[in-house]
Amino acid sequence: MSPSRSFTVVPGSERQPMPGASVTGSCDLNQTAEVSVRLRSKAEAKLAQLTGKLSKPGFKHISRKEFAETYGADPADVKQIRKFAKEFGLKVRETGNELARRTVLLSGTVSNLQKAFKVELNEYSCLKGNYRGRVGPVSVPAEYAKIIVGVFGLDNRPQAETHFRLLTQPARHKHKATPSATTSYNPNEVAQIYDYPTGDGSGQCIGIIELGGGFQTTDLSNYFQSLSLNTPQVTAVSVDGGTNSPGDPSGPDAEVMLDIEVSGAIAPGAKIAVYFAPNTDQGFLDAVTTAVHDTTNQPSVISISWGQAESEWTSQALTNFDQAFQAAAAIGVTVCIAAGDNGSSDGVTDGSNHVDFPASDPFVLGCGGTTIKTSNNQIVSETVWNGGASGGATGGGVSNSFPLPTWQQGFNVPAPTVAGGGRGVPDVSGDADPNSGYNILVDGESAVVGGTSAVAPLWAGLVARINQDTGKAIGFLNPLIYAQAVEAEGFLDITQGNNGAYSAATGWDPCTGLGSPDGTGLLAALRGTSGTAATINASATRKSRKSKSAA
């Protein structure tokens, strides 16, 4: 390689050390690592046109095969990456879905990776553990710059956090006829409370993204047997070496079991594919693209309960995740994502408001949290979930990374604090307070769990039932649910409570979005759209239930 060779920075790839991290030494130059190289679409102009149509009336989903053939990576570009790999002593790990996912996996020694991407890799230590990291941007030889849109995996810091909260109070009361300070529910009971349409999700597949932990099949069979439900078919899919590895009932295992048991109790007839990946930006992104383009399991809805404040992501990550979610929308896959459990700050201590990503992406359904109190299977009050400084609170606010979508215009979304922002979070909500939490079984132990982690699978189960009823994938929900008639018939407004900086209000708000689901009403309203927003009756009025907004 010529010493004067020109390199070009990969846009948005700059990184800084994690807060409080310090360098403990240089990486072993002979250590082997793997990176994911994201490639441009072979039809970028057509892809831009497609993206512009996703929220318009009459959009028809395309198949995974058609998407890969038309908008995937160019085989010639993949050939160029193989040439690049050979030049720098790297190996290409064949996956068979490089074109659809626009992703090529390369492995090699730290020494060769540093030369190939013009980075210096060091070992870091911080409160969250040790990681291999870098400072500054990633660069590639100039002749490859046009085809490479992202490079992930050089830095393997932990990227995302779970969004569940374990009930810590000693007193746990199963669902009672009268409200109490702490009342827990089985997930199928919550579905009944929200008047979900009948069905069991047969014919559907729910994809779940997990960045750690695992499940035990004996727990699943025992849990669903206790609910008098058939145990759904659950399949573990390994991504980037991630595996189904249970072992910590208070850690990621609780997340995994919450996601499976909530969605499975609502849609026990659906297949559930759990995509296990390392908790890095590379692993997270690769899990999403694997699920979206999975031609074996073919999920029609994906549930994600992991995330982190937007400010903790690189620009290249935000861009590439967004492209992955655009692909999901085009194919007809609904993506439900937890909005976070740390209120309007999203756990960032800079005194500003933040929203959680990827829930803030405009092509996903951001899921916020509420507190419910019920009597005789009816909600007598529902407010914003806010348990105080130590009890957690629903995420929500305004994105600083994504502009206000057209379908959110006119909904009084607060102004962003930076130019280019504006997307309001969340879109929808549901029960998330641990004090009105969900009964689950994890590693042989019974637990009551809340958090917005529960709301993503709660909505995923609803989508599975809707898809089963309509006989087709509803897909990208956001443009449909913000239409006036669907909003009026499909949601129950939450008008009391706050998540810190923001308060609930009539209509959409930055705490609970459009509100919690009226499942049967939502299905009926969506049926009326005939798959388009154009046929919705714009004269419908907003549904209001005084009992739901009462304290």
**CATH assignment at residue 409:** 3.40.50.200
DSSP state of 10: P
Cα 339–Cα 341–Cα 344 angle in degrees, nearest 5: 75
Q: Note whether 198 and 308 are same-domain residues.
A: yes
Nearest CA-CA partner of 305 in 237, 344, 355, 255: 255
* Residue 445, domain member (yes or no): yes
Token reading at 289: 């693209």
DSSP state of 415: P
Q: Note whether 30 and 108 are same-domain residues.
A: yes
**Rounded CA gap, 100 and 48, in Å?**
17
* Residue 62, domain member (yes or no): no
Q: What is the pLDDT of residue 169?
A: 53
Cα Rg of the chain (Å, integer):
23
Q: Note whether 135 and 263 are same-domain residues.
A: no
* Residue 61, domain member (yes or no): no
Tokens 């669907």 correspond to 486
CB 323 within 8 A of CB 236: no
* Residue 48, domain member (yes or no): no
**Rounded CA gap, 392 and 389, in Å?**
6
Instruction: Give the containing element (helix H, strand E) for 218.
Output: helix 217-226
Last residue of a domain, one of 152, 183, 217: 152
CB 75 within 8 A of CB 551: no
Listed in sequence order, the residues at least 6 apart from 79 whose beta carbon sits closer than 8 Å to its beta carbon are none
Tokens 């861009």 correspond to 319
Listed in sequence order, the residues at least 6 apart from 254 whose beta carbon sits closer than 8 Å to its beta carbon are 162, 164, 166, 213, 440, 442, 447, 449
Q: What is the pLDDT of residue 536?
A: 35
Listed in sequence order, the residues at least 6 apart from 530 whose beta carbon sits closer than 8 Å to its beta carbon are none
Residues of the chain with pLDDT under 70: 1-3, 169-181, 529-551
Assign residue 394 a region (left: φ > 0; alpha: ψ between -120 and 50; beta: otherwise).
beta
Last residue of a domain, one of 135, 152, 169: 152
Q: Note whether 407 and 335 are same-domain residues.
A: yes
* Residue 63, domain member (yes or no): no
* Residue 59, domain member (yes or no): no
Q: What is the pLDDT of residue 173?
A: 47
3-state secondary structure of 37: strand
Q: Note whether 82 and 216 are same-domain residues.
A: no
Instruction: Give the containing element (helix H, strand E) for 478.
Output: helix 478-481
Q: Please give the tally of structural domains in the chain.
A: 2
**Rounded CA gap, 167 and 467, in Å?**
33
Q: Note whether 107 and 189 are same-domain residues.
A: no
Cα 487–Cα 450–Cα 348 angle in degrees, nearest 5: 85
CB 466 within 8 A of CB 523: yes
Q: Which residues does the annotation mark as catalytic?
A: 255, 259, 453
Last residue of a domain, one of 134, 152, 170: 152
**Domain range enclosing 336:** 161-549
* pLDDT tens by residue, 138-193: 999 999 999 999 999 999 999 999 999 999 754 344 555 444 567 899 999 999 99
Beta-bridge mates of residue 166: 449
Instruction: Give the containing element (helix H, strand E) for 124.
Output: strand 122-126
pTM of the complete model: 0.95
Q: Note whether 166 and 23 are same-domain residues.
A: no
Q: Note whether 288 and 360 are same-domain residues.
A: yes
* Residue 219, domain member (yes or no): yes
* pLDDT tens by residue, 235-269: 999 999 999 999 988 889 999 999 999 999 999 99
3-state secondary structure of 447: strand
Q: Note whether 279 and 133 are same-domain residues.
A: no
Q: Note whether 284 and 374 are same-domain residues.
A: yes
Q: Note whether 437 and 299 are same-domain residues.
A: yes
* Residue 69, domain member (yes or no): no
Q: Note whether 124 and 192 are same-domain residues.
A: no
Cα 65–Cα 69–Cα 73 angle in degrees, nearest 5: 120
